A and B are shown apart, each in its own frame.
Chain A
Amino acid sequence: MRNPYQPYPVRIDAVTVETEDRNLKTFRFSFLNPGDEERFSYRAGQFAELSIAGKGEIPIGIASSPTEKGFVMFTVNKVGLVSSHLHSMKAGDVMGIRGPLGNWYPWERMEGKNVVIIGGGFAFTTLRSSIVYMLDPANRGRFGEIHVIYGARTPGMLLYREELAAWERRDDIHMHITVDATQDPAWKYNVGFVPAITEKKAPPAGEDTFAIICGPPIMIKFTLPVLEKLGYPNDRIIMSLENRMKCGIGMCGRCNIGKEFVCKDGPVFTLEQLNRTPREY
């Protein structure tokens, strides 16, 4: 019997400070045992438990893309016991990764469709995974227009800044980067909250357009009415939830919203599904 609580041993290969407040760091891991990378085969939108012996585990969205080989990548906000300890770890340290866990963005349903990605703050990790996945030469032809609306408080709080700049230069993806406010005269992108930018920049709604939205509750709260106003149907609005988790496999009982477990039946739900469920997230 495979033990679903047993993490794969991994080594930290690189640690990158992402944001100016140093509260977000990106960790690149490689698997210690041959074959584990293949066993950890994942889809964009899934998460994993990062496991540190003596501290515990945290559920974190996978920020690398399935098209990127030889490593997996997670961006972690420093919040509690495990994430704070992880922030003090360095390249070469050994820990564990358990997963992949949960479902993924509905890639089959979205094939041939336009996709608008709406993200805020540090909830951009599985969205980065999704963008890299869709932009991969083998996949780009399988999707229509791609729009990305991504906002942070300040320019220094944006994740993956070099990649954002590189995507800005491409002509097969429409980037709409924004910050809440900035004094930086060199800032050449948008200024304004994500809902306002969404209203201006989101592509027209239709049967052929999906919105993936991921961000802090306040952003979700004000962006959903905008999407509704633009005419996005609830089954074309895709959301990824977070709840406190332990097992990650639908057994320990704490992350449920109604009969659905965020860890196993989610974290990805359509707004239509969420409307039928007690919103305990």
Chain B
Amino acid sequence: MRMLLIDRRAWEEGLKRAAGDYRLIGPVKEKEFHSFRPLAAGQLPDFAFQNSRLSPKHVIYPQTEPMFTYTLEETREDRHLLREVVRDIPPTAVVGIRPCDAKAFVLVRLNFDTPDVQDPYWLRAYEATTFIGLGCNAPCGSCFCTTAGCGPFHEEGLDLLLAETAEGFTAKVLTAKGEAFARAAGWTKPAPEGTEAALQELARAAEGRITSFVQTEHLKSIPVNDLYHAPFWDEVSFACINCGTCTYSCPTCWCFDIQDETRGKAGVRLKLWDSCMYPLFTLHGSGHNPRGTKLHRVRQRFLHKLKYFVEKYDRGIQCVGCGRCVRLCPVNIDIRRVCNMMNGYAVSGEACAIP
């Protein structure tokens, strides 16, 4: 694994150079919060942030994405036929993505890139993108990445990992994509002996600053119907207003809708983020709704992330511990508490929450 040293000047020059080969996306402050946005020429990513308010999942998976266009003009030879929209995706680099958000793409990939069928919209964007991660020196109180299969310097899903230092950055090149980006940026200066050990030390220190945790070890083995019929769902879902904030802010939530929009004779078939919090998500044409109450829907969200996913893929929970849903839920529903209740229920059959 190659370690590089990037001082402030090399950083700024390098991004300018890389912008010739890549579309750069990075954290930008908009009003009070940071968002991941395309960087204008010469604009630097603003690293004075803990994390973006919403996850950068939209970079790969836009909230609204055209899939097909069509014409209803009866005189046209191709009337009523769907023409695939192939999004022009130049080589893209997300500069300053936090390790939790990069790991989230690895989990979401399990859904969109399966052995027998692939979602070309998601996969093309993912494959065109290089992830330049920024280690998290100061995780916040609602971060619980270290027990959610991730960590403040977790490398999975990253092509290059940056650690901020007084002089600039040290960088760990993790993949060929990361190597190519470093080359494009002209970052060639090898870091001195001991830099990797120093990076490990930084990671350990950051992990030590994580103060909240989830317990997940029993989630896989407990029978699904036991969890489904556990007594705590009424209490867990009581305050929920089914607003969908948790799903829209979540880097690992992938559910979507497909809708046709027609103006005049021209139209487009769209893929749009959807949410299991909404009653329409599962409403049958007959009026029957298998998840007709908010209890059903809240339970679905937690069981999907913390049980169905765990069983289906054996890759841990479908959560990276970024804490966004914890911070943004208007009624303070806390996935950490629910996770610990579920895991604890597996052991004791009781529903006491562990802090």
Report A's interface with B, CB cutoff 8 A: 1-7, 9, 51-58, 79-80, 83, 93-96, 217, 242-244, 246-247, 249-259, 276-278, 280-281
Contacts and interface: CB of A to CB of B under 8 A. Distances in A.
A252 B258 contact: yes
A47 B183 CA distance: 50
Contact of B259 (A7, A9, A56, A83): A56
B67 A5 contact: yes
Interface string B185-203: 0000000000000000000
Contacts of B72: 53-54
Nearest to B257: A246
Interface residues of B, number: 52
Interface of B: 67-68, 70, 72, 79-82, 84, 111-112, 114, 117-120, 123-124, 223-225, 228, 254-260, 262, 267, 269, 274, 276, 281-286, 288, 290-291, 296, 300, 303-304, 307-309, 311-312
A246 to B, nearest CB: 5
Contact of B80 (A53, A217, A243, A280): A53
Instruction: Describe B's contact surface by its main secondary structure.
Output: mixed
Contacts of B291: 280
Contacts of B256: 246-247, 251-253
A246 B67 CA distance: 13
Nearest to B83: A6
A26 B178 CA distance: 56
Contacts of A83: 285
A2 B259 CA distance: 21
Contact of B68 (A5, A79, A93, A243): A5
A259 B282 CA distance: 16
24 contacts: A1-B124, A3-B84, A5-B67, A51-B82, A53-B70, A53-B81, A53-B267, A54-B70, A58-B285, A79-B286, A94-B79, A243-B282, A244-B282, A246-B258, A251-B112, A253-B276, A254-B276, A256-B308, A259-B309, A259-B311, A259-B312, A278-B225, A280-B300, A281-B290
Nearest to B247: A253
B180 to A, nearest CB: 22
10 closest cross-chain pairs (CB), A and B: A253-B255, A79-B285, A259-B308, A53-B70, A80-B285, A280-B290, A278-B228, A259-B312, A1-B120, A54-B262
Nearest to B299: A278
B82 A96 contact: yes
Nearest to B296: A280
B259 A258 contact: no
